[in-house]
Each structure stands twice: as structure tokens, then as C-alpha cells.
């Protein structure tokens, strides 16, 4: 019954082709790619069935979790924890004139990110992790994510192997003065990011963030201490107005 319900829900989102791809993936245990063209999106997107790609697709391009009515037209968006690019693609379609910087540290997700944003010249991909200091960090699967889905959700921690960048470094590298939207979904690493000196927040107008106390208790409290009270909450995402 559970399998039937899951397949039906998958059919409603992805159609017959998506169900076949999902079944094949489960049978042979390979993350085969599928493509789908969501309504209102000007390009096809590529997903790996039986991974967190499908939930990212639903959250961003079906449920529109980042659809907030802002009093300004964003010109610069920083997508931190861009994963395979679903949020960046949503923003690019809603704000076609915006400059979007998508930051993702994990190499297999970054490959899918580059593939998904190829049709969007306004999106720049950076393989790195946003961190309180420059240097390097490690990419790990967060505790609490098990099974095949856990293989595609990652967080960062102290260590080596992946470039770490700061917000000021991004501002300098891309020659921008203000980040109109800072979207953050980094599987618990928000604990480090917002525990440190956040002087850079003066360059940010709005923060859209998902906190992950289920992985690392204290994330929400740390974020609220740095940002104040959220203006709006929608699904798992909170909107903070910084100016």
C-alpha cells in the first residue's frame, strides 16, 4: 500500500516516465537520470530518481517554497547550498533580470547543478562551501540521513578537501555591494555560519533559510539570535528582513 501510494504521488509530479525511471532506479540500485519540464519553467531539469533530487524538485518548483512577496525586485541572489540548482532555477524564472550565484560544495551535486543551469546565463555556479573563514572544509553526510537518500544530502564541517568561502569574499569576487536574497539550506552548517561574526549581514536585505535542528540541535536558536524574529514562515523556510 505504501509503495502504491508513493508511486501514485510520483506519477502526479513526474508522469509515467518519472514512475518508470523511479522503478528502474530502485530495482537496479543506480541513480539514473530523468528529465522533466515543470510548468512555468523555461527549461527541462535533470534529476536522479530515488535521491533527494526529487524532494528538492517538489519543494522548489512544485510547492514554490521560496515564493515570498517582496517589496523590491531582487537584483542579486546568493543561493547557498544550491544542491542541483532547483532554487536557483526557480529564482531565475521568477526574477529573470537577477544575477544569481549558486554555491554548492559536493562534487556529484555540483555536476548536476552545472547541467541544470546551463540554459541560464544569469546563474553562476561556484563549487565551494560558505563558511565563517576562508580555506578548506570537509563534506560529509549529516547524521540522521540514512539509505539512498542520505547519499545525496551533505553538510560541511572542519577539515580539508573543499574550498571554503566567506560572504565578503563572494561580494568581492563578483563585484556586488548588496545581496537582495540570501537563500541558505546547508544541512546544519548554519550553526557555524551564524555563530561567527556576521558583520556581513549589513550587505543583505532578505534571508530565506531552512534550519536543521534534526541534524544539529541549536541551529534555529543560533539563526534567530543572529537574524532576529522571522517575518514569515512557509513550509520549512523562514524569511528574515534585514533592512
- The CATH number given to whatever domain includes residue 224 is 3.40.50.150
> What integer pLDDT is reported at residue 136 of this predicted model?
93
pTM for the model: 0.85
Residue 15 in any domain: the answer is no
User: Quick check: 157 and 138 in contact, CB under 8 A?
Assistant: yes
> Does an H or E element contain 180, and which?
strand 179-184
Number of domains in the chain: 1
User: Quick check: 129 and 156 in contact, CB under 8 A?
Assistant: yes
Residue 42 in any domain: the answer is no
> What integer pLDDT is reported at residue 49 of this predicted model?
85
Residue 43 in any domain: the answer is no
- Residue 83 domain boundaries: 68-241
Largest CA distance in the chain: 54
The rounded distance, in Å, linking the Cα atoms of 179 and 176 is: 8
* Cell 564541517, located at residue: 157
C-alpha 77, offset from chain centre: 12
In what order do the strands lie in the sheet containing 129-130?
129-130, 162-165, 135-140, 155-158
Residue 161 in any domain: the answer is yes
> What integer pLDDT is reported at residue 5 of this predicted model?
47
Beta strands in 20-98 (DSSP E): 34-36, 45-47, 76-80
Strands 45-47 and 179-184: unpaired
> What integer pLDDT is reported at residue 183 of this predicted model?
98
Residue 33 in any domain: the answer is no
* Residue-level length of the chain: 243
pLDDT (tens, 9 = 90+) of the chain, 243 residues, equals: 444 544 445 455 555 545 555 555 455 555 578 999 999 999 999 999 888 899 999 999 999 999 999 999 999 999 999 999 999 999 999 999 999 999 999 999 999 999 999 999 999 999 999 999 999 998 877 655 444 444 445 777 777 789 999 999 999 999 999 999 999 999 999 999 999 999 999 999 999 999 999 889 999 999 999 999 999 999 999 999 997
Residue 178 in any domain: the answer is yes
Residue 205 in any domain: the answer is yes
Q: Is the backbone of residue 14 left (phi > 0), alpha (psi -120 to 50) or beta? A: alpha
> What integer pLDDT is reported at residue 142 of this predicted model?
62
Strands 129-130 and 232-234: unpaired
> What integer pLDDT is reported at residue 157 of this predicted model?
72
The rounded distance, in Å, linking the Cα atoms of 241 and 118 is: 31
> What integer pLDDT is reported at residue 26 of this predicted model?
54
Residue 115 in any domain: the answer is yes
Amino acid at each position: 500500500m505504501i509503495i502504491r501510494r508513493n508511486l501514485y504521488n510520483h506519477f502526479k509530479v513526474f508522469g509515467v516516465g518519472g514512475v518508470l525511471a523511479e522503478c528502474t532506479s530502485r530495482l537496479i540500485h543506480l541513480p539514473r537520470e530523468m528529465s522533466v519540464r515543470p510548468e512555468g519553467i523555461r527549461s527541462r531539469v535533470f534529476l536522479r530518481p530515488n535521491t533527494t533530487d526529487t524532494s528538492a524538485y517538489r519543494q522548489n518548483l512544485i510547492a514554490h517554497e521560496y515564493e515570498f512577496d517582496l517589496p523590491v525586485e531582487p537584483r542579486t541572489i546568493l543561493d547557498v547550498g544550491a544542491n542541483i540548482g532547483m532554487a536557483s532555477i526557480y529564482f531565475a524564472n521568477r526574477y529573470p533580470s537577477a544575477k544569481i550565484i549558486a554555491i554548492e560544495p559536493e562534487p556529484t551535486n555540483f555536476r548536476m547543478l552545472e547541467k541544470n543551469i546551463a540554459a541560464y546565463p544569469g546563474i553562476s555556479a561556484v563549487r565551494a562551501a560558505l563558511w565563517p573563514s576562508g580555506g578548506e572544509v570537509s563534506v560529509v553526510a549529516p547524521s540522521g540521513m540514512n539509505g539512498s537518500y542520505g547519499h545525496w544530502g551533505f553538510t560541511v564541517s572542519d577539515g580539508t578537501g573543499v574550498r571554503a568561502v566567506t560572504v565578503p569574499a563572494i561580494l568581492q569576487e563578483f563585484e556586488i555591494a548588496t545581496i537582495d536574497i540570501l537563500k541558505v539550506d546547508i544541512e546544519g552548517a548554519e550553526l557555524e555560519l551564524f555563530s561567527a561574526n556576521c558583520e556581513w549581514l549589513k550587505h543583505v536585505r532578505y534571508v530565506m533559510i531552512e534550519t536543521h535542528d534534526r541534524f544539529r540541535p541549536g541551529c534555529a536558536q543560533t539563526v534567530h539570535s543572529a537574524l532576529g524574529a522571522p517575518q514569515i514562515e512557509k513550509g520549512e523556510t523562514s524569511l528574515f528582513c534585514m533592512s
